[in-house]
Structure 1
Amino acid sequence: MATDIKDTARSVDAASVMRLLPNRPRLLALGEPTHGEDSLLHLRNELFRQLVEQEGYRTIAIESDCLRGLVVDDHVTSGKGTLDEVMEHGFSHGWGTSAANRELVRWMRAHNIRADNDGRPPSDRLRFAGFDGPLEITGAASPRRALTALHGYLSARLDADLLPCTAEALDRLLGTDDRWTDPAAMMEPARSVGQSAEAGQVRLLADELVALLDAHTPQLRTGTSYDAWDRACLYGRTAIGLLRYHHWMADTSPARLSRLAGLRDLMMARTLLAVAARGPAFVHAHNSHLQREKSTMRMGGMPLEWWSAGALVSAELGEEYAFVATALGTIRHQGVDTPPPDTVEGLLYALPEDRCVVDAARLATALGGTRPEPRVSPWFGYAPLNPAHLADSDGLVFVKDVPRS
């Protein structure tokens, strides 16, 4: 069996990944089993460079706030803002402090201006997208930014009589942002504003604004740039998603947390489909958001289960979506030591390579009908590979040892 497993391993590069796939997918997703390790992000960066240079990919989408990501996209495409400002304001979840993310932004900007003094034509420029909602573990953002931006876009281009409300009326209904962002609401539904009368009215207005955007698409697409219209669609999706999320934060049923997890991935999926409409994109996030199977976790002592963004996107795109998971050997600075030899990670750890790309389907065949038991992690921040899901991945990247960032 060791020989069979060795035969499935190749060097980690874009060519090895693409050889696993029947064609160039519109969305090529690389997952990671833990967050915050720059060595994994440097690997992501190198794969993206190769995909740009060898396969024509032009967009990278990462698990970060989709609205903040516009700051990064503006910088890499047009030079707006300084690098320090972009790293401070363009990322959520603390990703802006990552040296690897800083390197990614710097390289993308340099690539876009490298061709000549005028830079690359818009169709050839690299683009950046955050595809998470404006959500953190402790809560969700106010829908104000997304709704007011959508209202401003429409009011500048359509007759005022068509709009369902004025900007001032919308502002009054939204109230202060701290009503929406109370971190206690994540675990205390009664603290959420999401099912208040005002929130219900705002949700209806958001639906009307998005319907207006959709109904006037021909006029708006021809009267403004594609990017301006695309951003308006992002504002609309985000506003609707946030209001739905806030509504379920105020729910008291046992399904509440699973519903919130599912709504987050639904927001992710819809943004990824919009990214895919622009052309081939490389996606990076946690394995649990990109896999084709249902995702599971425990939160607040309860088991949660929901369909991941990858499962939703795969159902829509079919072979135009590809998912490569990442598995790890050790993260010793987090107490994750050498994997047991009877786990998938343990079998791969015995290979001589420090990192490799593995044909997941061939590996599943080599393992036979009886899958190894899942590895158990001593650290909550690392999710080992589920052997039962191995054949549902298009490939597997294995990194033997993850050094401290």
Structure 2
Amino acid sequence: MKAAIVTAGARRGIGSICRLILLTAAIELTVPVAASAQERTPPDQRDAFVTWARQHAIPLPACRSPSDATGMDRLRAVVSDAHVVALGEPAHGAHEPLAFRNCLFRTLVEHGGFTAIAIESGLSESRRLHDYAAGGPGDVQQLARAGLTWGFGRFSENIELLEWIRRYNVDPAHKRKVNFYGIDLSGGERSGLWLNAGITLRDSLAYLSRTSPRRSRRARRAVAPFLDRFTQAGYTALAPGERTRLSVAIDGLIHVFDRNRSILIADATQSDYDWARRNAVAARQLETLFRVSPPGPPGEDLLPDDYKADAARDAAMADNVRWVVEREGPAGRVLLFAHNGHIMNAPTRGGIWSVYARAPMMMGQHLRAALGKDLLVIPISGGSNGPGLPPARPGSGSLDAALAATGRDYFLLDTRPARDAASVAGWLVQTQSLRANFTTENLLSPGTALDVVIFFDRLTPAKVSTGP
């Protein structure tokens, strides 16, 4: 993509799924898009699906703020007893998915017993937001800009979410508090160079220095030489022997946490221990990403081997989600929010990702294998892009086009019953496409990739905060 549309370095830094669109840009796009799946689908099967979808579509209320959550009763019935609801957005930077997420989360908390939200943002950075949402100090605007990676702190909808959670938590009538987490790799920023990756090591070392300086001395000394070089470029510059020493040092850091668990918890709190140890695990995740990423500075164009970095990132995110689920306990329920490509039970292929030598396994596939029916997958589909967003390519997104053909502008469709409907089951198992990142598309089989889909007839830009 042109640099005016996608931030420089997005290819190997943020991960190709998570390309950040500059909402102020509107220039001609040069992204190649795979032949539309709808052109390969027999018209009668598509028409049968459109008819079925029109009959089974569930209208949804407008969601303009977290407090506008009325009329969501039928959606709660669809969620049923799922312990993890994975809600996706078709692109980062659209208002409608963010506003809907806020309304949905309020509904699930107040009427469904949900206890946490986990979003596609850095795990280590989210500790500050977790504490603020629990009633801790700080200015929400400043915390969001520092604690939401990839520039997501700019979006007012994310700040509104944090403020609602905080108001809910400080109300003494609510005995069980709601938690906020980031589940992405730590240290991400819009340059794509992972310049802040060292936050994982520094936070872990600070905790150990405070709670057990003597027992952790050797592990801290082993990590110290790499603190200022723990970035994508810094790792690339390491000699093979140094890379080995870094890997051993991170393993040693995690071992200190595991070997001294009871002592460390006694000197602090269970929560402090959990986060500090997870930071060490997050450093391991980043070291894995750096190791499989192609050498050299990030570029705008995808390369065949870039699938390895995407696969490493999504495996890490899935592991972080499992950590969140464990922290929330048997009675916990989690709303997971990330890009459609991450949350669906399908690899990334098609569109700009057709260049990949192999379709990488995504977070949703890992979670489906781990959680089974306890996971509900709900991507969001968009019919068109409104002013301020790049124009969509005509004919892209066969699933989006079929949903738009229902003539309804905003609805939920539970596709699970259609798997047993002879007239439409065949269409669902075929390869279709879903628009992604405003201008390209993913190829998938709806029958296995998703459980429910939300459709908006038009996407508009997210609101950009003007705070400090």
TM-score interval, smaller chain: 0.7 to 0.9
Whether 1:89 aligns to 2:146 is yes
Q: What displacement does 1:114 show? A: 2.8
**Partner SS for 1:67:** coil
Q: What displacement does 1:86 show? A: 1.2
Q: How far apart, in 1, do the equivalents of 2:238 and 2:285 lie?
A: 12
Q: What displacement does 1:159 show? A: 6.7
Q: Which amino acid aligns with 1:354?
A: D
Q: Which amino acid aligns with 2:258?
A: D
Deviations 1:355-383 (A, max 9, x none): 11101123454424245774586x85445
When residues 10 and 32 of structure 1 are mapped into structure 2, their CA distance, relative to the original with a 3 A threshold, is: same
Contact 1:33 1:382 in 2 (8 A): no
**Partner SS for 1:336:** coil
Q: How does 1:68-107 map to 2 (within 5 A)?
A: 68-107=125-164
Q: How far apart, in 1, do the equivalents of 2:238 and 2:345 lie?
A: 30
List runs of 5+ in structure 2 lacking aligned partners: 1-47, 61-70, 297-302, 463-468
Q: Which amino acid aligns with 2:283?
A: A
Whether 1:150 aligns to 2:200 is no
Contact 1:38 1:99 in 2 (8 A): no
Contact 1:331 1:337 in 2 (8 A): no
Q: 1:335 aligns with which of 381, 385, 391?
A: 391
Whether 1:308 aligns to 2:343 is no
Q: Which residue of 2 is the match for residue 354 of structure 1?
A: 409
Q: How far apart, in 2, do the equivalents of 1:71 and 1:91 lie?
A: 10
Q: Which amino acid aligns with 1:258?
A: Y
Q: Which residue of 2 is the match for residue 395 of structure 1?
A: 452
Q: How does 1:175-324 map to 2 (within 5 A)?
A: 176-177=228-229, 180-182=231-233, 192-193=236-237, 196-221=240-265, 224-249=268-293, 256-277=305-326, 278=328, 279-296=332-349, 298=352, 301-324=355-378
Q: What displacement does 1:401 show? A: 1.6
Q: Which residue of 1 is the match for residue 466 of structure 2?
A: none
Q: How far apart, in 2, do the equivalents of 1:256 and 1:400 lie?
A: 35
Q: What displacement does 1:330 show? A: 1.0
Q: How far apart, in 1, do the equivalents of 2:97 and 2:360 lie?
A: 26
Q: How far apart, in 2, do the equivalents of 1:236 and 1:393 lie?
A: 33
Q: How far apart, in 1, do the equivalents of 2:196 and 2:279 lie?
A: 13
**Partner SS for 1:78:** coil
May I ask how many residue pairs the two structures share in their alignment? 386
Give TM-score, length-normalised by structure 2: 0.74
Q: What displacement does 1:89 show? A: 0.7
Q: What displacement does 1:393 show? A: 1.5
Q: Which residue of 2 is the match for residue 5 of structure 1?
A: 53
Q: What displacement does 1:392 show? A: 3.6
Whether 1:131 aligns to 2:189 is no
Deviations 1:130-155 (A, max 9, x none): 11102357232455321232233334
Q: What displacement does 1:112 show? A: 1.5
Give TM-score, length-normalised by structure 1: 0.84
Q: How does 1:23-102 map to 2 (within 5 A)?
A: 23-102=80-159
**Partner SS for 2:218:** coil
**Partner SS for 2:349:** strand
**Partner SS for 1:307:** coil
Q: Which residue of 2 is the match for residue 188 of structure 1?
A: none
